[in-house]
Structure formats: C-alpha cells, structure tokens
Amino acid sequence: MGKLYPPSPTQWADFQRDFTSGLIWCTYRHNYAPIRPSTFTTDVGWGCMLRSGQGLLANALAVQFMGRGWNRPVPGDPMWDIYVKILSWFLDDMNAKSPFSVHRIALLGKQLGKNIGEWFGPSTTSQVTQALVHNFPQSGLSVYVTTDGVIYKDQVEEIATKKKTASFGHLLILVTIRLGIDKLNAIYKDAIKATFEFPQSLGIAGGRPSSSYYFVGYQGDDLFYLDPHHSRNIVETKDLSAYTAEDFATYHCETIRKIDISAIDPSMLLAFYCRDRSEFDALCERVKELNARPGMGSSIFTVGEKAPDYEVDDESRLLSVTDEEDEDLELIL
C-alpha cells in the first residue's frame, strides 16, 4: 500500500516480509460471548465484511501510531506496547477495552438496519467505522466518508479539525463506490490499481459478491489480499502487560493470496490515511493527476472544493442514531 517493489534479487522476499509482518489480518473468530440480544458466538458465514472493515481500521491505526513501513514487533521492542494496545482494541469482547470489537460493529449495524448475523456492504461498513472511531476519541483519528464518489474539501476540513487540538491531521478517508452493475467494468481496472500506488493508500475492502476480501496491493492484473474467511479461536482480554507474541500470531497472515481484478465485485470501499494537511493536499493532487492521465479510462472518484447544499455528511447522520436496545453499549451516537 503505497510502496513499490522494483525488480531485484530481493523483490519477492521484501514483499513477503512486509505482507506477513507489516499488515494486521482480521478474520472470523469463534467462542466469544454472545452478541446480545442474539446468541451468535461466532461470525463465521456472515462477518467477512465486518472483519475486512476491522482490518482496514486496524492498519490505519498501525500506520498512525507506528508509521508506514512498520513490522511486527516482539516483546522488548520500542513499539511492542503500542502494537499490543492497538490489537487489544479489536478483541472480541463487549468491555470498554475493546471499542472496535465485532460485538460493537454488529450492534451499530443493527442500528443502521442490519440484523445481527446479516452481511454488511461497503456503505454500512464505512458508516459503522466512522461511528466506532467517533465514539472512541482516544484513537486520535478522524474519519471522513463519501458515498457519491467525491471527496469534498470543505467537509474534510470540518471533520479533520473537530478534535480538541483543532489541528488538521490523522484522517482516515473512506470512499464507497460501485464500478459496474453485476461485475467490474473493465474501464476502471487501471485506475483501481493506480490507487494502491498512492502513499496514502490503505487498500480496498471488497471482494466477490457477498464474500469480502481486504485488498492490499497488485502485480499485473492480480490483486493481493487478506482473506477473513478463516475462523480462529478468540484472544482473551487481559492486562496489556500479560500478552505474548504468540497471543497475536493469528493477526498476521503467512499465505499470500491473489485474485484477478476482473473477478472482484464492483462495489468496494477505498481507504486512505493522511497524517496531516500536506498529505491530504498531496492525495488530492494525485487524484487529479490520475483522472487526467491519458489512457487511464474513466475516473473512479474525484475531489471537489465544496459539497452541494443538499449534502448531509455521514457523521451527522450516524450521530442521530440512538441506542434503545442495549444500555450497556456505552456508545455516544
């Protein structure tokens, strides 16, 4: 994501190291406490997009706190405590230590019209991600969601400066798009691949119809991806100092998988992370350059200065959703 591996004797080894050690892999889990009021103790068969969204957010936070180019630390490394804290936020528990658990994701989805156990699409995933982060300001992250294929600078400015510091930065941009009816329109293939080259890229959550993957790079017409369709036993929550490297081994994928871009679903969620205003400005310039590039085909999304008056930003819409079913959620919506 944003890193080029030029042909060299170590090209594949370098890529393999970063894929297996520099990405957080979120998958199905089983044996967790039921997601009330349902009896689900696993998300096998329905939670793949929830897990792809988790992975996208987890990698955004990893970049934010450990920088791009991070690799899996071990106990004693300077980054170990930060790494443990980030992953603990995603453990499958309803307690306050796990603000990004599958429990909270599923319950927020329920407030947005998705029954617990129902598959999410990219739009629901983006809105739930925004609400999760809004409800956990300790992450230091802001989330901007656009569902019409346009990143509006005035909306980004408002969201990116809402934090207590009022300074622009630590921004996750989520772009939900549909690039075809039943299958991906071939005219968009090159533009999709080009977005992985953006330094701000965090990949794409998408996949096949009703089967989500988390795409993180490409070679030729093949997209590399993390597959959430592997069930693992839960990692129990405990004091941060008690975790070992083995506890989080299943959050890293040793198998590199790829799929031809023509086989992916046309509905997808693109993600970008901007550490500060200069990175956001650079992202906007890259989008404009991509859309103006000869032979690129059609634009997949654009940048606009000001949203039309009828636009309602997704955060406001989410914040109007109230929780009336579970008083223990501790969600500020």
Q: Which of 48, 253, 274, 284 is catalytic?
A: 48
User: At residue 180, what is the residue type?
Assistant: G
Query: Is 28:227 a contact under the CB 8 Å cutoff?
Result: no
- 233 torsion bin: left (phi>0), alpha (psi -120 to 50), beta (else): beta
Peptide bond into 266 cis (omega under 30): no
Cβ neighbours of 13 (radius 10 Å): 11
Concatenating the DSSP letter of every residue in 135-184 gives T-GGG--EEEEESSSEEEHHHHHHHHT-STT---EEEEEEEEEE-SSSS-
Active-site residue flag, 227: yes
Q: Which of 30, 81, 190, 229 is catalytic?
A: 229
Active-site residue flag, 48: yes
Structure tokens at 3: 């890193």
Structure tokens at 12: 């594949």
Structure tokens at 8: 């060299």
Active-site residue flag, 229: yes
Catalytic residue list? 48, 227, 229
